Amino acid sequence: MASTTTEADFAAWMGSIQGRVEETLKRCLPGPQHAPARLHEAMRYATLEGGKRVRPLLTFAAGELAGAEPGRLGIAAAAVELIHAYSLVHDDMPCMDDDVLRRGKPTVHVEYDEATALLVGDALQTLAFQLLAEQGGDAARQLEMVRTLASASGSRGMAGGQAIDLESTGKALSQTELEFMHVRKTGALIGAAVKLGALCTGPCPAALEQYARRIGLAFQVVDDVLDAEASTATLGKTAGKDSRQGKATYVQAMGASDARAFAEELRRQAHAALEGFGERALRLRQLADFIVLRKF
């Protein structure tokens, strides 16, 4: 009974944050009344009404822990989500993963065309930095947020992880090599999501960064397990793609059962990192559980 109440409370919290993020994104993305209309429409198609918004949820949870103001958190969360959305649009293109389905809808290059998908990704990335730079308040703090998001997204972060992923296709990676790749490909932006939430009010505590590293990795391990075991309908994106494309995954490196156990261990470590925060870390603990125990 207690557990059901907690779950319902978490679900309500998630729903309210997801709604707030959607509103912020809707307000910040230029509408089709601004030229070029088709590009702006495609940017909205790529970003709105989609996904679990895991990164924004982390930004809000970390920000709530740190005592940040919700309006400021909305912009930070939107900036992280725009970077995530841009990376999905580009990753789905024919020269990368060549995927036709994302969040249950045709991918941007299928719904529009490849050139538009390229420009959509480019412009979503730009908008992320623009939002952080246009936000009022303490300039040093906003600049630190730009720095954090850029270093997580660039060639030594997310884009670099993507490049390593491409190079590794068809090769068997060791667990260490896999971790090196995923710390960049997925972990860096998840870490930035947590850090930006804290930065909305002050410096990011080291324990939060540790938490972020654990769940960043856990997120990817679970992604690999789900790709191998879940269905396309459940995921809203093409399932079983990793093994067909010869991608290096945790399932391939250690087997599905050990991969699940590894994710569970990371969840435990993430909880441990939060110990000093007590009740203030409730949402972050729930998010660690959500990330590891999710079925989609």
- What does the DSSP assignment read for 32-56? TTSSSHHHHHHHHHHHTT-S--HHH
Given candidates 70, 154, 203, 276, which one binds a copy of itself under the rule CB under 8 A? 154
- 110 lies in the binding site for a copy of itself (CB under 8 A): no
Which of 23, 49, 114, 275 contacts a copy of itself by CB under 8 A? 114
Note whether 134 binds a copy of itself by CB under 8 A.
Answer: yes
118 binds a copy of itself, rule: CB under 8 A: yes
| Interaction residues for a copy of itself, span 235-294 (CB under 8 A) | none
Which of 100, 101, 110, 159 touches a copy of itself by CB under 8 A? 159
**Residue 62 touching a copy of itself (CB under 8 A):** no
Only segment of 14-22, 27-35, 199-207, 287-295 that touches a copy of itself (CB under 8 A): 27-35
Answer for which of 62, 88, 108, 119 binds a copy of itself (CB under 8 A) is: 119
For residues 98 and 202, give the distance between their C-alpha atoms in angstroms, rounded to a whole number: 41
Give the total of residues touching a copy of itself (CB under 8 A): 52
Q: With CA atoms as reference, report the closest residue to 198 among 65, 91, 93, 50.
A: 65
Least separation, in Å, of the C-beta of 142 and a copy of itself?
6
Q: Where would I find the H helices in the chain?
A: 2-28, 37-47, 54-66, 70-91, 108-111, 114-134, 139-153, 158-168, 175-182, 188-199, 206-229, 232-235, 241-244, 250-273, 282-293
The residue (of 132 and 235) whose beta carbon lies closer to a copy of itself is: 132
Q: Does 38 bind a copy of itself (CB under 8 A)?
A: yes
Give the count of alpha carbons within 13 A of 66, CB side only.
Answer: 27
80 near 216, Cβ under 8 Å?
no
Question: Does 221 contact a copy of itself by CB under 8 A?
Answer: no
Q: How far apart are CA 195 and CA 197, in angstroms?
A: 5
Distance CA 59, CA 293 (A): 20
Say how many residues make up the chain: 296
**DSSP category for residue 102:** E
The one-letter code for the residue type at 232 is T
Residues 166-185: x where in contact with a copy of itself by CB under 8 A, - otherwise, as a string: xx------------x-----
Site for a copy of itself in 7-26 (CB under 8 A): none
CB nearer a copy of itself, residue 127 or residue 292? 127
Q: Is the dihedral of CA 254, 255, 258, 260 positive or negative?
A: positive
**Contacting residue, 132, 235, 248, 259, with a copy of itself by CB under 8 A:** 132
Beta carbon nearer to a copy of itself, 151 or 231? 151
> Alpha-carbon distance 260 to 88, whole Å?
25
Least distance in angstroms from the C-beta of 189 to a copy of itself: 11
Q: Does 153 bind a copy of itself (CB under 8 A)?
A: yes
Give the span between the Cα atoms of 208 and 191, in whole angstroms: 9
User: Which residues are at the interface with a copy of itself (CB under 8 A)?
Assistant: 30, 34-36, 38-40, 43, 86, 90, 93, 95-96, 113-119, 121-123, 125-127, 129-130, 132-134, 139-140, 142-144, 146-147, 150-151, 153-156, 159-160, 162-164, 166-167, 180
